[in-house]
Structure 1
């Protein structure tokens, strides 16, 4: 599926689709774009009745110029501790942020999570996140609340410390996988019930039965992988250090 910004040709195809009376889903299918992308494009550029490809293209250029003019100063380069190349660290952080975006995480949440992940301590205060990301405290507060609710970070306060630290650890993806596993269990149970209700011998019932079987197999494999990873990490922690 194509990514990135809509092209001039795509905008012309959207305009043509609207003129044909097509819905957002059908236009998106033809362009291999999500229907939500088409809807946002049309809504911000006059709506279905007034959408024009050239006008939308020019409006997009104008918004891009305005964003560049209003953009905050570039964040400082990371320090060069451990002999790292600060520019390489920054480039990696930006590319990892984009990867998180592609996985569906909102932009600010992606930036905060990537910032925490590349910090050796894995822990930063709200003030440190504001300084590193050059955003408002409110943006950080919203982002960390969301990430905490998703089980991706935790809050910690050292004894006697005045400020909380937002912490990410090496089990972040374990918790994410566990959440997916739990959802698969729910879907598998619902699919099994669907098969029973519709009748296992019917096409619809068989479809649900097949889905339940697949989800249960996936969860079995995930549980085995998670157990293996835990054993591997435990063994690594107990190994004596070598000089």
Structure 2
């Protein structure tokens, strides 16, 4: 099922695609999966030259057994008060984490982001994340660095304090979109440059030119959406005063 865990049949399709010489994107399109999911699956199970569906399936089962034995389920992530149902919060945390994974976010990064989003304060330390998610400090550091690069959180220190805190706010998706916009603009520039080098009259050059035109429309649309959001947010803030 698209978005769920890879099945043995999925793995056989991946192996067949690799044998045909297909790239991760093409294989992912056949399966209805992100290319990143296919890439992680192949990379962790021998690479494109040594991938085997049966070996990958067995390795996945072994990892699942080890994780089940070594890591008890993490407790529901809750702040105090508000009369929330702990099990409902826990179930939503798991489903939202899975949703973030489906969007291409690696699982550890998805777990850290979901944990921050569900906290009322929107602020947690590395120690908080280690305790709530039952993961290592190194895993927290790696996940936080990745999320910071994507514009999804930032670091701060309390006045006079030594501990870093990781912070999100209501504009998390705005900053993430800004990061995506910068990458999109870089792709537009690179595609324009490729068109000049390859020649717009050639098939490859025309392909890059078409890509640049499309990506430029995406950038313009994103800029309009963000400007509309800023106006809406400013009006909402003014209404609260």
Q: What is the aligned-residue RMSD (CA, Å)?
A: 3.2
Structure 2 match to 1:131: 131
Task: Answer whether contact 2:199 2:205 (CA < 8 A) is retained.
Answer: yes
How many residues were matched structurally?
Answer: 233
In the alignment, what sits opposite 1:25?
22
Gaps of 5+ in 1: none
Larger Rg: 1
Distance 1:155 1:26 in 2: 37
Which residue of the partner structure matches residue 154 of structure 1?
154
Query: Could you say which residue in structure 1 is the equivalent of 2:61?
Result: 61
Kindly report which structure 2 residues correspond to 1:1-243, keeping only aligned pairs within 5 A, or say none. 2-9=2-9, 17=16, 22=19, 25=22, 29=27, 32=31, 36=39, 39-40=42-43, 43=46, 47=50, 53=54, 57-76=57-76, 78-79=78-79, 81-240=81-240
Structure 1 residues 201-224: Cα deviation after superposition (integer angstroms, max 9, x where no partner): 343333222222222221111111
Q: Residue 230 of structure 1: CA displacement?
A: 0.9
Distance 2:53 2:194 in 1: 46
CA contact (8 A) 2:126 2:165 kept: yes
Return 32-41 or 86-95, whichever deviates more: 32-41
Q: Normalising by structure 2, report the TM-score.
A: 0.79
Cα distance per residue 1:33-84 (max 9 Å; x no partner): 755366347529xx46xx583x665554343223211123532452463232
Q: Secondary structure at the match of 1:186?
A: helix
How far apart in 1 are the matches of 2:132 and 2:180?
Answer: 31
For residues 60 and 240 of structure 1, the distance between their equivalents in structure 2, rounded to whole angstroms, comes to 52
Greater Cα shift, 63-72 or 92-101: 63-72
TM-score, structure 1 as length reference: 0.79
